[in-house]
Each structure stands twice: as C-alpha cells, then as structure tokens.
Structure 1
C-alpha cells in the first residue's frame, strides 16, 4: 500500500535478466527488498539527471553501476581543469569537451548496454515538462536556484518524483519530492532566492569528496523509489556537515496555504534572469560564478581598453588565482581585504587619488560585490565599475595574461 513515507515501486519490472546481468548484479539479487524483481525494476527504469558536474557525476556513476536501464543527461557546460577535483566522471583528456559527451563515454565504459541520451543544453521552461513526463524519476544536481525551482515546478506539474541535492563548502543537503504523497521544495522554501544571495562553488569553494557523499545519497533515494523499498526522504531534509561528521534531519510538511504550481511563468522569469547573467560572462561558457552587477556599473573589455584616461584596475581574486593568470597592470586587493578595510585599502594601494576604478574577478560576481561595497566609502567623484566577464572574458577575447607568482600583493589584516 502506498503511503507518504513510501509511495511504492515506481517502475514495473522488465521481463527478465540475462545471464550477464544476473552475474553483474549478483550482490543486489541477494538483498532483501531488491532481489531479482527489484533489479528488473532498475533495468526497466528511465532516469533524467540534471547536471553532469559535482553532484551529477557520482549520481550518474552509481546509477549506471546499479543497473538503471535508460538515462538522460542534460548539461550545457564543458569540462574545465577546475572540475576534476570533484567531478569524477571526467578526466584530464576531457578538458574542453561537453560534459554530457564526457559523461556518456565514461558510463558506456562502465556498462556498454546502458541506453544514454546526452543533451548538451540547459534545462529550460521550453524543454522541462516534456523531459519530466518521459522519465520515471528525475535527479537535480543543478548549481543555481532558477534551475532547482524549475525542476520542482516541472515535477509538480507532471507528477514526476524528484530527488534534490545541494552542496556548499563542507555541507550538503538532500531531499525527495514526490507530488501528492509528500511536500515539495516550495513547501520548504516558498520563494526563489536572489541569484547572488549565496556564493556558488567557484566563489565559496567545495570539498571535492563531499560531492560523492551527497551524490551517493541522491542515487540511493532514486533506487529506493524505483524499487519501492525503505523510507525515502519525503518530507525530510537530510543535512550533512562534513567537518563535524554530523548528519541531521529536518522534517517538514505540505503548506496548506501555498498556492499550487499551475504553470512555469514565475520560474521562467528567474531562468531568463539567470540566462542573461550567463550571457554576460566569458566566451568559454562556464556558468560557475554568475553575474549580478547592473549594466551601468559594468564596463566591457572593449570599453575598458578604449578609455581615454587610465583607470585603476583592481583584482579582487585570491592570491592563488593570480598565480594562474593575471591581467597586466592590475593591482591585487582581495575581496576579503576590501570587506574589512573598504575604500581605505584602495587609497593605500594607489599613489594618487583615483577617479576611475575598475574591478575584476574571475567572471564578475565578486567584482560586482566589491563595487557595491566600495560605493559606501568612495568619494562621490570616483567612478566605480565591474569588468564584465572578468579575467575569463579577457582571456577568451585573446588578450594577454601573465602568471604572477612573484608579484607582491597589496594585502591587509583581517582585523580593523
């Protein structure tokens, strides 16, 4: 009998398992609750995984190993060197390739009989409903709020179970949303947060092995739903603190006053705003940092180079980032220093009072934050702007960068 704690098996079992499959999944076949019938359900299941990055990589890897019969991967990003610390499906040789292509090849090496569809684009209001309707369960490993709420709303509209996970620095969260039996994401977090309200992995960092912990928990939820075993995280938010080795669970219920999702209109606005931010980023296409500056607070690379009077260019990245690449002539003032010292740090770093200050980071989020911060203390005559797309856009435009391991950074104490 289906209950809110366990809605029962999602998938009817396939007719039989081949001798190869019986040998391959032998350790499942002896498990109570899975057995031959559960393995046949897994082989019959169709799963959509949103994202082939930090969470998507372990999700895809373990579901393929578990015997899922058909998987669709959707992701519009390419593999970068900085991904390899946590996105374990990809290899050094895959740098520059579409993540979905790299992931597909890795999964087919694991199981050549797996049916894989690779979609090298973003989940959007235009494709979400069709994709959700055509799969038994969806796992969302997206790295932005707009896509997470799009997944939730598409799940609610189509009645498709959704496994959801997030990671940040040393902590992760997992929950399972099954329309009907249990509450949804909007019952827990009703409103879509501002895109820049929480730093992303590119800015805040993430412990690589945390992705494996959280992604494995997500894959476990999918197996439980498909086979109808155990107690899925319906109405529960699992929280994991890696530094404290602590797991905790928050219980939540449907909000009787929450209006039901009737269309994708609201989330389409959030997705459009997110896409606009991505469009301002570098030509490499990395969606890692986001962009939150207003247009009048930004300057393009072409505009910066065409300035008739020289501007002070301030790099607010961390010191280790400058060891990778640096825009020639930039002054190093880490964002952490500006957050403590404010405009005084800029005055101390420049011989003459600046009238034009342009700030850059990797792709625009931290520099926009620095512009907003410095406006509170800067003289009114000073013009402050963020370099659109940051050093990523500078590099992609073909302009020179240098490594700066020997440069002396302008630094300061973290105390007033």
Structure 2
C-alpha cells in the first residue's frame, strides 16, 4: 500500500472517530437540555411560591394562569391536569400531515418539552395538508420549520429538534428522553420500529393514520393494553401498503387525525380522561362518521410484549424492519424493478422515437382520474384494472397506426406503456407479454421521468 493510500485510510478513520464523538456530544447536549428545562420549571415554580405572587399553592405563575385559563376552568382538567402537562414531555415522530396539527396543539396547550423527529425538507406539495409549514420554508428542514412555528405559539415550551431519520441506531436514545410518543409516520417499517422501541422502553404510543378520505387512531402499550404487534404480528403485503404520495389524501383528513393524536397524548400526559387504549377510532370523512371499535387485548403470544417476548434492546438494534415488512423506510414512492432491460426504454429514448416519427401506440395505464390531471399527447387511457378486457382496443390501435403509415404487410407499430412512476406500467407489460403482446415495452420512471428528463414544464403531481 503506497503512502497516499495509508494517509487516506488514516484520514477516514479520524473522520469516523470525530463523527462518533460529535454524535455523543449532541446526545449529551440533548440530555442536559432536558435536565436543565426540568430544573428551570421546578425553579420557576418554587420562586413563584416563595414570592407569594400566586395567591395559592397550585404552582402556576400568573402568566400561566392567564394563558391556560380555559383549561383551568374545566372541572375534569383544571390545575392538576395543567400542572401534569407542564411537567410532561412528548416526542412527535414525523412533521408532516399528522404531525403538523399535533405539534401545534401540543405546544399551544402547554406540554413542557416537545421533541420533533424528521429528516425531510418542506416541498410545495406538502402545504396542502402540512399546515405547520409555510411557503417561506420550502426547501428547508421540516424540523426547523415546525420548531419555529411551535416556539411562535408558546415560547415557554422547550422544543428539541432531531433533524435525522428515525432508525434503530438512534431510536432508543431519542425515545428514552420522553414520556409519550406520537407516531405521525406513514409507512409500515416505521410503525413496527416505533412500536417495538416504545415496548422496550415502556412508553405509551399514540398512533394515527390517514389515507384518502379515511383515518384511524389508537393508543398502544398503555395500561396493559395491546401493542401494534399484538394486532398485526405479520406485516401486510407490500402492494397493500399504500402511501399518500401514491394514493392521495384530502388535506383536512390527516389534520383531523393529527388533532385527535394531540388530544390522546394530552390525556395520557395529564393523567386526565380515558385514552383510546384497547379501542380504535375510525373516521369516514365522506359520510362524516366516526366509529369507535373495541380491539383485541394484549396477546400473550406477542413477540414484542407477550409473556415469552423475544424483543430486547439488542434484538431491537439488530432487527431489519425494511426486510421484515418488504417496504423501504424512505418516504419516497415505491420503485419496482420487474422487467428485463430489453423490455424497458427510458423516457429520453421514447422522446427520440416520437421525434423521429416512429409509428407506435402509447398506452397510459393510470386510473381515469389520474389521466384527467395530465397526459402525454396521443396516448390512450386503458387503466391497468381494465387492461385484460380491452386487449381488442389495443390490437385495433396498433393496426390503425400500421395502416396509417402504410407499413409493409407483416410489420406492426410499436407498443409502449406508461404510468405515473413506472410501477403499474411494468405490471401491465408483464401481463401484455403473457397475453401475446411480446413486443410491449415499459417507459422507465413514467411521467415523472418525462418531466425530469424530457420536458421540465410538464406538470407533476
């Protein structure tokens, strides 16, 4: 090994060592900040009492009494509920559609310390539902945006920023600092990981979900109630794990569920009311109906919290949640790879064929309501769900194009398939190959690739 290689290796090792030290220092700072905040709360309360400016012994300063007066007037919440809330800490994992309203209300209502975990940035298409962010923060950290919004509402609440992805490597360290955890994520591996982390540390978990025009909410691992694995020991099939980025969501639906998550977290933290442990609240936004259903109790066979549970700190650290769920932790959309190279072409290659005037038929297999949003010129819309029933239509279109170009007998037009991101188009090409259309090709990356690589002005959604 030459001297340059040796020096490069030394530098890399030094960098790794410094990064490790940096992480430890950041964790120590976070822990000390939490201790300092608690000491300041205790000190402020003691000072107020000693100065005799309260008129009573409830531990609330005049500013607190005025700020939270509507809470204090509630017989079922009152001084004790507010005092409990001021001493509590809540961690919100995800500053998106669910996390936005949850964070705003937790800050406004007086939770003593709030942690925010997210590694994403604010994008324009977030603002339809993620109301904690503004246009001014587009391209900036979601955690910074959410933290500033919370501080603007209540400067007396301590906000801790965790600008990092939530992983097994940092989960135990982060969650251990909080009393209650709010799961505001939208993917299967995160749900299992957050649940298991909460079970290991004995933390109550407020779990919400929203998709399309429906939402649900429950509290796991609380007062002997079930955990997430009790109800779902086996993850759902990959094709059943839909995300808002793929299936859509009406902005106000996660808003409603997020508000209710804040409510449940406040009930748990303040020791007031009856949290949704062992029950699930279901929202049907179309009809405006809520249903409250009873859940199965804690499973004695549960691998996480059962009588013979195998979950420990070490098994948690070693567990591969992406492999377990067959779903990526990344918030990005699903990207399949089902076809061989010769059954696919890039959007750029397809653009060149259009420019050269190659005779072809372009089938767009997105649902009809997607096709109405935007489409490529001269494409025909045959949704994947109806593809097998409309094969004659494809054959007729191919014959029509071939005759239009006066091709020699025996020749045919090319067949290309496109969708939004290149997943359904691959499924369609697989089916077409089985049904005799062996020359059909998928356009890699779909319309998003077209907008990125061919026409930057083409709308994306």
TM range (shorter): 0.7 to 0.9
Write the distance in 1 (CA, Å) between the matches of 2:151 and 2:174: 22
For the pair 1:331 / 2:375, whether they are aligned, the reply is no
- CA drift of 1:376 comes to 4.5
For the pair 1:385 / 2:385, whether they are aligned, the reply is no
Aligned counterpart in structure 2 of residue 110 of structure 1, from 138, 147, 153: 153
- Cross-structure match for 1:199: 242
Write the distance in 2 (CA, Å) between the matches of 1:373 and 1:99: 41
- Cross-structure match for 2:405: none
- Cross-structure match for 2:25: none
Is 191-200 or 180-189 further displaced after alignment?
191-200
- CA drift of 1:173 comes to 1.0
- CA drift of 1:76 comes to 2.7
Write the distance in 2 (CA, Å) between the matches of 1:25 and 1:189: 39
What TM-score, normalized to structure 1?
A: 0.78
Is 242-251 or 161-170 further displaced after alignment?
242-251
**Larger % of helix: which?**
2
User: Residue by residue, what CA displacement relative to the aligned partner does 1:289-327 show, whole Å, maximum 9, x if unpaired?
Assistant: 32234364785748846999978654444677667766x
Q: Is the 8 A contact 1:58 1:216 kept in 2?
A: yes
- Cross-structure match for 2:16: none
- Cross-structure match for 1:284: none
Is 198-207 or 216-225 further displaced after alignment?
198-207
- CA drift of 1:190 comes to 1.2
Q: Is the 8 A contact 2:347 2:453 kept in 1?
A: no
For the pair 1:402 / 2:458, whether they are aligned, the reply is yes
- CA drift of 1:91 comes to 2.4
Is 238-247 or 368-377 further displaced after alignment?
368-377
For the pair 1:217 / 2:260, whether they are aligned, the reply is yes
2:173 is paired with a residue whose SS is helix
1:126 is paired with a residue whose SS is helix
Q: Is the 8 A contact 1:289 1:364 kept in 2?
A: no
Q: Is the 8 A contact 2:365 2:425 kept in 1?
A: yes
Write the distance in 2 (CA, Å) between the matches of 1:58 and 1:138: 15
- Cross-structure match for 1:251: 295
- CA drift of 1:360 comes to 3.3
- Cross-structure match for 1:174: 217
Write the distance in 2 (CA, Å) between the matches of 1:114 and 1:295: 53
Of the two structures, which has the highest relative contact order with CA contacts closer than 8 Å and spacing of 6 or more?
Answer: 1
Q: Is the 8 A contact 1:335 1:370 kept in 2?
A: no
Ranges in structure 1 where 5+ consecutive residues have no aligned partner: 1-10, 279-286, 405-416
Cα 1:233–1:36 change in 2 (3 A) is same
- Cross-structure match for 2:334: 290
Say what the alpha-carbon RMSD is for the aligned residues: 3.5
Q: Is the 8 A contact 2:92 2:183 kept in 1?
A: yes
The 5-angstrom pairing of residues 3-402 of structure 1 reads 15=45, 16-178=59-221, 181-244=224-287, 245-259=289-303, 260=309, 261-262=311-312, 263-264=315-316, 265-270=318-323, 274-275=327-328, 278=330, 287-294=331-338, 296=340, 301=346, 304=349, 314-317=363-366, 331-333=379-381, 335=383, 338-339=386-387, 341-350=389-398, 351-352=401-402, 353=412, 357-361=416-420, 363-379=421-437, 381-385=438-442, 387-388=444-445, 390-397=446-453, 399-402=455-458
User: Residue by residue, what CA displacement relative to the aligned partner does 1:84-115 show, whole Å, maximum 9, x if unpaired?
Assistant: 22221122333333322222222222123332
- Cross-structure match for 1:4: none
- CA drift of 1:252 comes to 1.3
Bigger CA radius of gyration: 2
Write the distance in 2 (CA, Å) between the matches of 1:20 and 1:271: 50
Ranges in structure 2 where 5+ consecutive residues have no aligned partner: 1-37, 46-58, 304-308, 403-411
Cα 1:243–1:339 change in 2 (3 A) is farther
What TM-score, normalized to structure 2?
A: 0.71
- Cross-structure match for 2:56: none
